[in-house]
Structure 1
């Protein structure tokens, strides 16, 4: 029989994998030193602190959703459309991974992790929708940072195109507009320097 402490250590090691799991989209685009899934989740959680400005959102739940939304990737990896895994199969793999994680950490905490993951997947609450916006925003912010680091404006345009018109929360929409303004300014400055 496996002890509870052994199971908790297995959980710790599993989520530690997220620090070493590079985000597939960046790897496929040849980005040097791409961020990890844990890097992505961390910045999302930090951005979720800004949910305090919206009284309609449960601030703590937003932070928790950020920390849980990609947790299954410690087992299934960061699957993208390039992996040709049907959406239903991807969901089933992630669900099974989250059930395994739930069972490792015990009833109360495990059930909370699994319920939060399901809430994010189902996109039925304002918090889940806000966190989905944070997920997409972090991706385009990261794309912009990579473009700046490599001095290649527009190189990762496809990431911006994939989110066009998909942001719902007014605060995040404002961030997207400001990011677009900064991105245009960077592109203009690069052209002037050429």
Structure 2
């Protein structure tokens, strides 16, 4: 095995292990109240929060690094679990378990990436740098608003928020992020505050709906279909870890923004399975629906910010810039690995052949990350040889 193949094998081993974060349930509910949020979709939502609330960040904060911290900060819960803030918890024991988990998980990566990501996780946990402190603020405020804007949330959850704001860890928001603190207090008092956070929160609450959009692909263990929010988190992690294999140098912050936002239109337009057979008219209707969805959803933001986000989404769709070409490749490669791990997944449902996979997926992956496609194709070819006749 070549050094490059060894490196790719290590990177995919980490990325597939990260898939298990979707099985970790948190205490707080998604906004429609239908179920508990999982830690993977939570991490995606935090990244969106960080991008949307960037105008409120201190001048010495790198939002790009904050997004990266939030993508990986909860990975340790794969081993250590999630712990509600109002529970009777031995936090020293939790910290110890999480440190052990971090060592195991990040050691799956090549040594240089292991050291970098592990260091970033430690920085977040220590909360000493401006980036880590802002990432913590984002992590603290998202569950508060997810609870306060949920009309059917149990009263006990509201009391958790109240205790968190007045005496808990979120009390620090009064000084560190006063806009959030005062908006949350107004919501607790039954008011509908109209302030600098009103429009950003309208968008952030709306995109919570992506957690209810189901895709054809299942999790790696085949236990359920993945949703588009946790998918977005996973491919952001994929893009970051596999960046060295891009067809060209790319601005990783831009790539992560594209992948963070690319599926938001599915809240209105739904997901379209890559292997579905569609007529030209159906494809045109889908494109029109997605464009209308982009205009509506990004239009919830303050005008200038909404225009920026819309341009990022449009750039991804056009797939012409180096960043968009690479992002499209990563968006295609992640489901391939999940299907392989789950024993065929949506390939069985759509009677997919290796030739069809090459035509609909392979050429797009190869365009943006040719070495990645060579590696992945070699991994999946034996499955198709054994399970298909074409």
TM score, norm. by length of structure 1: 0.78
Report runs of 4+ in structure 1 exceeding 6 Å deviation.
none
Do 1:98 and 1:114's aligned partners in 2 also have CA atoms closer than 8 Å? yes
Do 1:99 and 1:114's aligned partners in 2 also have CA atoms closer than 8 Å? yes
Does 2:130 correspond to 1:126? yes
Identify the structure with the greater helix proportion. 1
TM-superposed CA distance for 1:88, in Å, is 2.2
- Equivalence for 2:173: 167
Does 2:23 correspond to 1:20? yes
Name the SS for the 1:26 alignment partner. strand
Q: Which has the higher contact order (CA 8 A, sep 6+)?
A: 1
Aligned Cα root-mean-square deviation (Å) = 2.9
Q: Map residues 23-172 of structure 1 onto 2, 5 A cutoff.
A: 23=26, 25-26=27-28, 32-49=34-51, 50-51=53-54, 53=56, 54-80=58-84, 86-146=90-150, 148=151, 150=152, 155-164=157-166, 165-167=171-173, 170=176, 172=177
Tell me how far apart the structure 1 counterparts of residues 92 and 54 of structure 2 sit (CA, whole Å).
Answer: 31
Do 1:103 and 1:110's aligned partners in 2 also have CA atoms closer than 8 Å? yes
Name the SS for the 1:124 alignment partner. coil
- Equivalence for 1:191: none
Could you say if the C-alpha distance between residues 82 and 59 of structure 1 is closer, same or farther in structure 2, counting changes exceeding 3 Å?
Answer: closer
Match of 1:181 among 186, 203, 211: 186
Structure with bigger gyration radius: 2
TM-superposed CA distance for 1:73, in Å, is 0.8
More displaced, 172-181 or 129-138? 172-181
TM-superposed CA distance for 1:9, in Å, is 3.1
Aligned length in residues: 180
Q: Deviations over 1:96-129 (max 9, x none)?
A: 1111122111122211211111111111111111
Q: Deviations over 1:129-188 (max 9, x none)?
A: 111111110111121133x1x166675222231232221665x3202312332343369x
Does 2:14 correspond to 1:11? yes
Identify the structure with the greater strand proportion. 2
TM-superposed CA distance for 1:34, in Å, is 0.9
Name the SS for the 1:56 alignment partner. coil
Unpaired stretches in structure 2, ≥5 consecutive residues: 193-390
Tell me how far apart the structure 2 counterparts of residues 186 and 155 of structure 1 sit (CA, whole Å).
Answer: 18
Tell me how far apart the structure 2 counterparts of residues 19 and 120 of structure 1 sit (CA, whole Å).
Answer: 21
